[in-house]
Structure 1
Amino acid sequence: MTIKSMFPPVPPLTPTNVHNFLFRRPDQPFANYTLHIDAVTGKKRSSHEFLERAYDGATALASPPSEGGLGLEPETGEMVGILSPNCMDYIALVHSLLILTTPFALLSSYSTPFELKHAIRLSKATRIFVDPKLLPLALQCAQECGLSSDRIYILEGHVKGRKSYGEMIDKVRKRGAPRVPVRSAGKDTIAYLIFSSGTSGLPKAVMISHGNLCFALAQYVVVTKSVLDVYTPPTPKTPEGIPVVLAFLPFYHTFGLHMFAFRGFVAPATAVILPRWNAEFAVKIIPKYRISHFLLVPSVVQPLLDASRSKNFDLSSLLGLGSGAAYLPPQLAEELSQITPGGVEVTEGYGMSETTVAATVKPRPELFGGRVKPQPGTAGVLLPGLEARIVREDGSDADTNEPGELHLRGGNIVLGYWDNEKATRETFVDGWLKTGDRFRVNEDGLFFFEDRVKDTLKVSGMQVSPTEIEGVLLHQPDKLILDVAVAGVNGGRTSDEKVPRAWIVLSKYGRKRGKDAVFKTLEAWSQEHLSKYKWLRGGFEVVREIPKSPTGKVLRRELQDRYEKRHPRAKL
């Protein structure tokens, strides 16, 4: 059974450079407003100043080296790496490169040398723009990858003897160089590479095209129009009467990049840019800048809750909260909602790099004639223009409310993996993206995340979802734990069978009761609420924190590796 979106369809799109889609729409002139604020320095940049910088940046990058530029041309096969924490020029450089149709690779600013070398080699980066603090790392890795030192440039700031994006712009402006035109782009013209674990295996470079971006943005426009037809949001009490968003999500990740480098231009909004997440700092600047909207990932929710409670800051400006990139337990979503006046509902959705950004969105109750009833824990309904299947292990379609692997098809499904035909063939099959995530869909068309296919355990031939067990433990009414992760460890009936084990972070109530008592309470609770084959035969362990990626995904493999080092399986 193919599941279709309940939203109106995405209108036909003429292939174009995504820059034109955003900034040269005849139906909507690009307004001037405060676009960016540096949360640390307070520096501001208007939307028109940003656009001028993007155009001058493109002209500088395309200028010949004899005039201080880089001579970037589509025919030269360039791939520009960007290695930096969040900053204003990050987004300006992104748009300069889009104007030139020069693809770029988004390199994690948290990279270890091993990870960065892998990313440089995988993307075949020919140049890198870097934050000054990360310059030593970039130089070391570039040298080992055979990339010349003179192809490493500074993104924001200045380093003596090294070209920078800002200095190249200054030279263009000083000599009054005519601006290069926005280059045309087809539906499949690659815009950028973003690194993802994919649906399995080592990190891969996802190819996102100008067509993917235009379609994803058009989906957002359709959803927004549908919502505004049935609901009028409150006007933000901000200096310019427009939303002010805290932009801490890393721009090298698909969620942060899309929200602040693309979607943020569809309607006026101010982004207060934070280089890296800091909960204590975040609760200070929410009242300072009258932050009205906050986009989060699950890993930052508990630190934010703790900081907001301990400091008692004024959070009355918050009108909207959104979570993405990983599963947010309903209990945590409810606690997050309560930090805002009136308990603002946390909007959620599901997506991955392979869907450009999103695939589902949690709908407002007024949508679709009120026939889709809100439910806790849902990832929402399909975005416009998307189709889905829930597929059993044997390849047949699952029934309503039966879990299976989610397959997706639509214009925001990416081109595939850069320089990896095998992974592309395995993941993108007959026009469908095999997500590697298990979902179920109820009778109202609401999607519910079950687990990663590769994280699912087989116990006595039955599938066991770690996320399901985590949800049960988090719902224990005594609030003994703040966080939990479940993964499989040795101890099954056969050599390859894993049994579930829980790693828990104690709350203040749990610490007061003591870990042994907490273990007994959680064990009794889980056995009362779960079938026997789902019981935690691998036991419990207290940890200070659950290891997670910068975007909030639980690193189960890290927990399993620690356990196996301490408890190696005996060799026969």
Structure 2
Amino acid sequence: MRVIHGPGGALPAIPDDLTIPQFMLDADHPSRPKTDRNRPWMIEETTGREVVKAELHSRTDSLANALKIRWNIGEDDVACLFSSNHVDYPVIVWAVHRLGAIVSTANPSYTHDELVHQLKTTGTKIIFAHSSGLAVAEAAARTVGLKPERIVLVDTVASGKAPYANVSGLIQEGSKKPKSYTERKLRPGEGKTKIAFLNFSSGTTGLPKAVMIPHYALIANIIQCTVYAEGDTKPVESKTFIPGRRIYAALPLFHAYGLAFIMHFGFFLGMPLVVSQKFVFADMLKSIERYRITTLPCVPPMGVLFHPDVKKYDLSSIKSFMIGAAPVSPELQAALASVFPQATIGQGFGMTETFTIVALQRHDQKVGTLGSAGVLLPGVTARVVRPDGTDCAPDEPGQFVVKMPSLALGYLNNEQANKETFVDGWLNTGDEVIINDQAELFVIDRIKELLKVRGFQVAPAELEGFILDHPDVADVCVVSLLDDFNGDLPLAFVVPNASAKERMSKDPAEAEKIKAAIIKYVADGKVSYKQLTAGVEFIDAIPRNPSGKLLRRFLRDKARSAQKNKGVKAKL
């Protein structure tokens, strides 16, 4: 068996009897750097307001108290956090955890149906919603039978006539009343099984599933990343991860990358977060100047916006430009290196199911190996396997299979997906990779059907099931074209039904009308990154194997070949 280990040696002890807020706010782990207790943990981008640990601690405890008093939130209840980035994001997460309850973060751009799916799957008892998504939260709550008083506004802006509680008001309320809950100390080993998050992922295939992430998993990944950071032997001024470096937090905190790595690892290492509620490129450039940002986590669509004209801004504070969540072309990586000659430029790799980081850029490189997703973290054990389960030779591509202490427990109430993905302590990632002798990871392709659009997961099966409900569709297969900005561009191959074919035979212009109607149907019913940005193509029949399974790769290769020949451009 060819087993590859992430360099860095054995990990220090990982607490298995602590919850995440106990580890972040109360405990003193030997791996944690010593920092000024009055340093800011968060900085609000729009106002410059600084939030220190003591304030986060007191707000967390006061909010937990109010949640217990008002709604008796307790052991294993689920709270859905449906919000854009906010300085109270960690407060809400940790307050829920203080009560032994579970957090399920949701994309604030979700449509009604998408949010309903998440609320029903998790059995949500309370929703924390930003005012910008309140209408969706209200409608979804009605659908699943949650009363309006079970909606709490993350910000203080009310909407309509309903008097919603808000987080700041609850914190004030909780701070004035006697403590109403007793925070439980976990039993030895319980941290490995007690669920902290139910975050959604499409896994290797199919509809979005709730990933069961225990407290131990996040704590383990923080320690793994810390040991990785300690392995950097460069002079202090050239290191990426040290106390005091400032992270620009525009990537969504509901996503595993933002939630686990940017927020929790950043806090643990003493790196303040400049919190941006919504990514606006010009505002980011101004904030880099204003706050002297040093660490810039991005996804490829953000990276392609940088061009020579940005040099009119002072970007000299940037020490590290980190790209993750989707593949990065060598051309983009080289272009970024020219814009940020003083910074390290590199990729990383992670999954919700590994919560979250599996690989980060090699320390001995200023610009990461082109095409590489980084070097495996300490504590990661990996294999590259053929379809028959045997191990690939060095430099032979195969499925990436990984074992690490931060693995999720599996998918909630989905035994079939668990059997396919979590096997004998290993995670089948569904990614086709090569791992070289330096433990560098190169992602070649996705064996799994999952698409990545601007860093977000899109399950073709989800779109196919939705499109099949359109009155003109008999069959459908969703594939993707490729684009440097978006990553994947969803394209639907559609078999029109008999009625649609008859109309098209009578009027050739009807074909374009039906295509436009299908595109609008998806746009109206799905979040922005799940739309058919590459359009609709009609086809006589969807190719399938004898068992009826879609031959998706056949259509994907056909579409990409046509894209290459015709020079298809992205629809932005």
Poorly superposed stretches of 4+, deviation over 4 Å: 26-30, 176-180, 481-496, 535-538
- CA deviations on 1:295-349 (whole Å, 9 max, x unpaired) are 001121112x14x625721111111111111111121012112222x34221321
Change in CA separation of 1:394 and 1:100 when aligned onto 2, cut-off 3 Å: same
Tell me, yes or no, if structure 1 residue 543 matches structure 2 residue 559. no
Give ranges in structure 2 of 5+ residues lacking alignment. Answer: 452-478, 494-538, 545-550
Alignment partner, residue 532 of structure 2:
none
Output the CA distance in 2 between the equivalents of 1:456 and 1:56: 41
Change in CA separation of 1:37 and 1:388 when aligned onto 2, cut-off 3 Å: same
Output the CA distance in 1 between the equivalents of 2:231 and 2:311: 39
Tell me, yes or no, if structure 1 residue 426 matches structure 2 residue 428. no
Alignment partner, residue 517 of structure 1:
none
Q: How far is the alpha carbon of 1:175 from its aligned partner?
A: 3.6
Alignment partner, residue 301 of structure 1:
303
Which of 38, 46, 49 lines up with 2:52 in the alignment?
46
- CA deviations on 1:40-95 (whole Å, 9 max, x unpaired) are 23332222211221122222222x2xxxx322221xx4100011110011111111
Alignment partner, residue 556 of structure 1:
none
User: TM-score by structure 2 length?
Assistant: 0.77
Output the CA distance in 2 between the equivalents of 1:487 and 1:332: 21
Change in CA separation of 1:492 and 1:187 when aligned onto 2, cut-off 3 Å: same
- CA deviations on 1:87-141 (whole Å, 9 max, x unpaired) are 0111111111222221011111010112111111112111101112211110101
Output the CA distance in 2 between the equivalents of 1:374 and 1:293: 16
Change in CA separation of 1:544 and 1:538 when aligned onto 2, cut-off 3 Å: closer
Tell me, yes or no, if structure 1 residue 393 matches structure 2 residue 387. yes
Q: How far is the alpha carbon of 1:542 from its aligned partner?
A: 2.8
Matched AA of 2:405: G
Q: How far is the alpha carbon of 1:417 from its aligned partner?
A: 0.6
Change in CA separation of 1:484 and 1:33 when aligned onto 2, cut-off 3 Å: closer
Tell me, yes or no, if structure 1 residue 231 matches structure 2 residue 234. yes
Output the CA distance in 1 between the equivalents of 2:29 and 2:443: 40
Alignment partner, residue 434 of structure 2:
440
Tell me, what secondary structure is at the counterpart of 2:145? Answer: coil
Alignment partner, residue 498 of structure 1:
555
Q: How far is the alpha carbon of 1:454 from its aligned partner?
A: 3.3
Output the CA distance in 1 between the equivalents of 2:543 and 2:215: 49
- CA deviations on 1:159-199 (whole Å, 9 max, x unpaired) are 36222221121012234547854643522110011111111
Change in CA separation of 1:456 and 1:491 when aligned onto 2, cut-off 3 Å: farther
Tell me, yes or no, if structure 1 residue 136 matches structure 2 residue 139. no
Matched AA of 1:345: T
Alignment partner, residue 206 of structure 1:
211
Output the CA distance in 2 between the equivalents of 1:312 and 1:366: 27
Output the CA distance in 1 between the equivalents of 2:450 and 2:243: 47
- Assess if the C-alpha contact under 8 Å between 1:235 and 1:242 holds in 2: no
Alignment partner, residue 223 of structure 2:
218
* 1:115-126 matches, cutoff 5 A: 115-126=114-125
Change in CA separation of 1:399 and 1:257 when aligned onto 2, cut-off 3 Å: same
Output the CA distance in 1 between the equivalents of 2:217 and 2:486: 36
Matched AA of 1:442: N
* 1:259-408 matches, cutoff 5 A: 259-303=261-305, 305-306=306-307, 309=309, 312-340=312-340, 342-365=341-364, 375-408=369-402
The number of equivalent residue pairs is 478
Give ranges in structure 1 of 5+ residues lacking alignment. Answer: 368-372, 458-465, 475-480, 504-534, 547-572
- Assess if the C-alpha contact under 8 Å between 1:297 and 1:326 holds in 2: yes
Q: How far is the alpha carbon of 1:203 from its aligned partner?
A: 0.7
Change in CA separation of 1:203 and 1:12 when aligned onto 2, cut-off 3 Å: same
- CA deviations on 1:191-235 (whole Å, 9 max, x unpaired) are 0111111111111111111111111111012111111xx222318
Alignment partner, residue 523 of structure 1:
none
- Assess if the C-alpha contact under 8 Å between 1:501 and 1:539 holds in 2: no
Q: How big is the alpha-carbon RMSD for the aligned residues of Structure 1 and Structure 2?
A: 3.2
Change in CA separation of 1:41 and 1:145 when aligned onto 2, cut-off 3 Å: same
Change in CA separation of 1:501 and 1:172 when aligned onto 2, cut-off 3 Å: same
User: Which shows bigger deviation, 84-93 or 379-388?
Assistant: 379-388
Matched AA of 2:237: P
- Assess if the C-alpha contact under 8 Å between 1:56 and 1:179 holds in 2: no
Output the CA distance in 2 between the equivalents of 1:325 and 1:274: 18
Matched AA of 1:545: K
Output the CA distance in 2 between the equivalents of 1:206 and 1:103: 12
Alignment partner, residue 72 of structure 1:
73
Which of 22, 25, 29 lines up with 2:28 in the alignment?
25
Tell me, yes or no, if structure 1 residue 454 matches structure 2 residue 445. no
Output the CA distance in 1 between the equivalents of 2:392 and 2:541: 28
Tell me, what secondary structure is at the counterpart of 1:186? Answer: helix
Output the CA distance in 2 between the equivalents of 1:82 and 1:487: 28
Matched AA of 2:248: L
Matched AA of 2:210: A
- Assess if the C-alpha contact under 8 Å between 1:206 and 1:414 holds in 2: yes
Q: How far is the alpha carbon of 1:487 from its aligned partner?
A: 8.6
Alignment partner, residue 566 of structure 1:
none
Matched AA of 2:281: A
Q: Which has the higher contact order (CA 8 A, sep 6+)?
A: 2
- Assess if the C-alpha contact under 8 Å between 1:499 and 1:536 holds in 2: no
Tell me, what secondary structure is at the counterpart of 2:383? Answer: strand
- Assess if the C-alpha contact under 8 Å between 2:301 and 2:485 holds in 1: no
User: TM-score by structure 1 length?
Assistant: 0.77
- Assess if the C-alpha contact under 8 Å between 1:126 and 1:147 holds in 2: yes
